[in-house]
Copies of this chain bind each other. A is one copy, B any other.
C-alpha cells in the first residue's frame, strides 16, 4: 500500500504545527542522536527517502554534499520543501519510496527518517538500497520502534487518574498492518520485529555499524520534565549499516 496522507489538507495542516515541522531538525527529539550517526557529507551523493520538508536534504547540502535527492510521495510536502529548503545541490522528486529506481552505485549515502514503518516491502527496499549504493556506502534510517508499533493503539497504559503505569506491548510477533491514530486521521503502519529489521539489512549484504534507541537530550530533559517518560520505553529504532 502506498499511503499518501500528507496530501490530505487537514492532515497536512496538522503536520505543519508539529515541532519538527516548525523548527526543522532542532524540533525533532531524536536529532541529537541521528546527527552523530551521519557520515561526513562533503563531496557525497546522497538520497533521502521520505524527505518531507527536506530538512535533512538542506543539512547535507549545507555540509558540502555534492548532490542530494529528496524523494517523497506527497506533492504538498515537496511544495513546502521547495519553499523552505531550496539549494542548487538539492533536487526533489515526487514518488512513493517503494518505487524508486536510481542507478546502480549512484549514491554514497542513503538516509530515511521515520518513513519505513509506512512501507510494506522492507526486505525489497533494503536490496534496492544496497544496489544503489557505491561500495562502502552508508545506509542510515530511523523507524518507530517495534515496542512502539506492536499495538495499534500506540498509547501509554494509565491508571484511573490518568497517570502513566507502563507501556503495553502485545501482538509483538504478529507482523503486519496496524491502524493507528496520527494527527486528525487513521494511518496504516507496518509493525516488524527488531529481528526482522536487522536480518533484512544483513541479508541484503550490509554490515551493521550501530543501533540506537534514542533518548531525549539532557537539554530536553531539563526544560521539559514530561520528556522523562520517554526513558520508560524506546519510541524510535535507528540503524546505521555499511555496504
A151 neighbours in B (Cβ, 8 Å): 166
Which of B167, B210, B211 sits near A168, CB closer than 8 Å? B167
Stretch from A15-23, A47-55, A61-69, A192-200 that touches the partner: A192-200
A215-243 Cβ-contact flags toward B at 8 Å (1 or 0):
10000000000000011111001000000
Contact call A211/B194, Cβ cutoff below 8 A: yes
Given contacts A151-B166, A166-B157, are A172 and B209 in contact (CB under 8 A)?
no
Q: Taking each of A157, A169, A202, A213, which has the highest tally of chain B beta carbons within 10 Å of its own beta carbon?
A: A169
Which of B168, B173, B207, B231 sits near A207, CB closer than 8 Å? B207
Q: Report A163 CB to chain B, min CB distance, Å.
A: 13
> Taking chain A's interface residues, is the majority helix, strand, or loop, or is none over half, making it mixed?
mixed
Q: Report A91 CB to chain B, min CB distance, Å.
A: 34
- How many copies, total? 2
Interface size on A, as a range, is 20 to 34
Given contacts A167-B168, A173-B230, A194-B194, 11 further A-B contacts (CB under 8 A): A157-B166, A167-B169, A168-B168, A171-B231, A172-B232, A194-B237, A195-B212, A198-B198, A199-B210, A202-B209, A202-B210
List 16 A-B pairs, Cβ < 8 Å: A157-B157, A165-B168, A167-B168, A168-B168, A169-B169, A169-B232, A171-B231, A172-B231, A193-B213, A193-B234, A194-B237, A195-B212, A199-B210, A199-B211, A202-B210, A208-B208
